Structure 1
Amino acid sequence: MVADTPLIISPSQLYQGFNENQDVAILDSTWFMPNSPRKAYDEFQKKRIPGARFLDLDRVASTHELGLKHMMPSDVLFKTACEEFGIRPSTHVVLYDTHGVFSSPRALFMFRSFGHLNSSILNGGLPFWEVESFPVDLDAPGPLPPKSEYPLPPLDEKAIRSYEQMVTNSALSTASTASSAEAELVLDARPAGRFTGQDPEPRPGLSSGHIPNSFSLPFGSFLKIQQGPQGSTYTVFREPSEIHDELKKVVGASHAERIIKGEATAVTTCGSGMTAGVLWLGLKLLGAHKLGLYDESWTGYAMRETSKIEKA
């Protein structure tokens, strides 16, 4: 594995890898909200980066007692998926989506949490690739490459937070001055209206609001919108200095520095654990390393009748 593989790469960097015949596996990790009419796999079949395979984040996932989707897979399931894609430990895995940046950071979080450090996202995804005039494949996808052998990977247990851990941490935040200093800082990637309870959740019957003592940091704060093909738009990550500024606006300069220096742990959450990956990756770009992700996120939290929900 390559420890210094960049977290994000540009289309030109990926294309250079093609020319150098590097061991690269390109995975389309596009995901759409359940209420979207668009279907990720259908779009993948019609257009993709040459050689790309489709990573279904809802399929490469563990089952959950509440029926939640795209939960972190087991080590066996991750190993099996890598072998089906022909991925070896030495393979540079490049993940992209068709939004620009949306679901690919969640896929990167999965690979990095299982120790596959030789992994990156394609900044700007397929739209930026097209803007740069690199080739796209419009034919039907070909067969998968020959299966590889992939060792059973260890999961970084510190990467994932459970419901119980989130409840305990929320209480710890207000217990006392001493214990409050030890509490993890919870950053919520949902739009502000859903965080405050003013706007409804996209999942019917689910209350909006937020976990007590968490911070509202919409994932779009870390991204900027670019002009795409034929008048469309797509997203790319902001520069680290801009991400730093957005973080400071929400948690304050002191907390921001503590996160970046590793003096405090930040835990990201969102609606279902998908865009929490955007915040996770943005913080990684700032050099933060004490990070976690609440896998169930708001859907799992709000579905439980015993959960304390704050609004406003």
Structure 2
Amino acid sequence: MLLRFLPKRTPSLGRFISARYMTSGSIFGDSCPLVVTPKQLYDLPSGSVTVLDASWHMPNSPRKAKEEFLSKRLPNAQFLDLDEVASPHELGLKHMIPSEETFAGACETLGITPQSHVVIYDSHGVFSSPRALFMFRAFGHERSSILNGGLPNWEAHGCQVETGEVKPSKKAKYPAPRLDNSIIRSYEQMISNAQHDPSEQSIAELVLDARSKGRYLGVDPEPRPGLSSGHMPHSLSLPFNAFLDTNTFKPSPDAAEVSYTTVRTSQEIIETLRDAVGDEKLKEIVEGKRGVVTSCGSGMTAGVLWLGLKLLGVDKVALYDESWTGYAMRESSPIVKSE
């Protein structure tokens, strides 16, 4: 285990994790950093990286990701539609992890080979790009990263963007990879896990819910009409934006401020995690004695929690693909509406 457990708010912990964060893989090696900065991406040699826009917006949002991509994007970027590169689901759920053949086919269309360094961004800053990164890593594509701060941070650093129609990528060869099912949880697995109280049973995985606290408690409605709010038994609330910082910049002196998110420092992430789970469970997590499952509304922002945990060196972390939508749509699911 690469992380060691230290007392609360020990400054050296942040320095220890930050050092690993900056050196976890070489951009040019077999494994790439989970997160790259605009400068790191800008400095990469031309043609050495494939850039993907994986922007996605909530179902009740008026924003259209593909239209925004055509109006402004990183140079030579391709659009990755997470709802299209997905497996069909019995409940009609969107952006479920695709089949091995679907993933390989999408990579071929996007001009990606197994050796490509893929850098993924979104227009929020950090929102849907971690989910796309999770998908690539789940299929063993270790040469993959997200751009910290996404498109807004790229612009805030004065980097150029392009507009208009996109030149199609040259079709590549991508043999169907093997999906790592050990980092994806099913409904049946979540029901089985919920039968064990993690305070008493060491075999239970700790479930972290990335939705807002109000939705977790059942006092605020879900954005999907008719879906009950609340949470799974024994799960803990950790809203995904707790791992993120909010930033602003002005594209021009007369323009309105643009708000966007970036990944917080490793010290801030681990303190936030400590506040959510407590000292004992934090120790179990970082020492690899207890697994973690991240969940959210539909499996999208659970990727942010997954990313934060991976940046801390946590190995035993999985994602509940259906997340709350799939769970609450089933009438037999036990739902808790209290702390």
Instruction: Settle same-fold status: TM greater than 0.5.
Output: yes
2:152 pairs with 1:127: yes
Q: Deviations over 1:188-232 (max 9, x none)?
A: 000000000010000000000000000000001000100133411
Which amino acid in the other structure matches residue 25 of structure 1?
Answer: T
SS at match of 1:267: strand
Q: Name segments (4+ residues, structure 1) moved above 3 Å.
A: 1-4
Q: Which residue of 2 aligns with 1:261?
A: 287
> In structure 1, which of residues 217, 224, 228 is the aligned counterpart of residue 249 of structure 2?
228
SS at match of 2:195: helix
CA deviations on 1:245-287 (whole Å, 9 max, x unpaired) are: 0000010112112212211100000000000000000000100
Post-superposition CA distance 1:147-189 (Å, at most 9, x none): 1111110111111100000000000227x93xx1110000000
Q: How does 1:20-59 map to 2 (within 5 A)?
A: 20-59=45-84
Helix, strand or coil at the partner of 1:173: coil
The structure carrying a bigger helix percent of its residues is: 1
Q: Is 1:157–2:181 an aligned residue pair? A: yes
Does structure 2 conserve the Cα–Cα contact (< 8 Å) formed by 1:260 and 1:283? no
Distance of 2:91 and 2:249 partners within structure 1 = 38
Deviations 1:32-87 (A, max 9, x none): 00100000000000000000000000000000000000000000000000000110
Mean alpha-carbon deviation: is it higher for 190-199 or for 144-153?
Answer: 144-153
Aligned: 1:75 with 2:100:
yes
For 2:158 and 2:333, the matched residues in 1 are separated by 49
Q: Which runs of 5+ in 2 are unaligned?
A: 1-27, 251-255
Within 2, Cα distance between the matches of 1:285 and 1:134?
26
2:35 matched to which residue of 1? 8
Within a 5 Å distance, the mapping from 1:1-312 to structure 2 comes to: 2-17=29-44, 20-142=45-167, 144-173=168-197, 177=200, 180-229=201-250, 230-312=256-338
Counterparts of 1:257 and 1:4, CA distance in 2: 27
In 2, are the aligned partners of 1:219 and 1:276 still within 8 Å (CA)? Answer: yes
Q: Distance in 2 between matches of 1:65 and 1:108?
A: 25
Determine the C-alpha separation between the residues in 2 that align with 1:287 and 1:62: 29
Residue identity (%): 58
- Matches of 2:107 and 2:249 in 1, distance apart? 31
Q: Which amino acid in the other structure matches residue 64 of structure 1?
A: H
* C-alpha distance in 2 between matches for 1:54 and 1:74: 19
Query: How far did residue 3 of structure 1 move?
Result: 4.1
Alignment partners' CA distance in 1, 2:180 and 2:284:
22
Return the offset for 1:23: 2.2
Q: 1:108, 1:259 → 2: CA distance?
A: 22
Between stretches 218-227 and 21-30, larger displacement belongs to: 21-30
SS at match of 2:278: helix
SS in 2 for 1:264: coil
- Structure 1 unaligned blocks of 5 or more: none
What residue identity is the alignment partner of 1:121? I
Equivalenced residue count is 306
CA distance, structure 2, for counterparts of residue 240 and residue 8 of structure 1: 12
Contact 1:2–1:90, Cα closer than 8 Å, also in 2: no
TM-score when scaled to structure 1? 0.96
Counterpart amino acid of residue 146 in structure 1: K
1:22 deviates by 4.5
Structure 1, residues 128-151: CA drift from partner, whole Å, max 9, x if none?
000000000023222x12111111
User: Aligned to 1:172, what secondary structure does the other structure show?
Assistant: coil
Residue identity matched to 2:176: L
Change (3 A) 1:288 1:3: farther
| Letter matched to residue 86 of structure 1 | G
In 2, the alpha carbon distance for the partners of 1:248 and 1:2 equals: 33
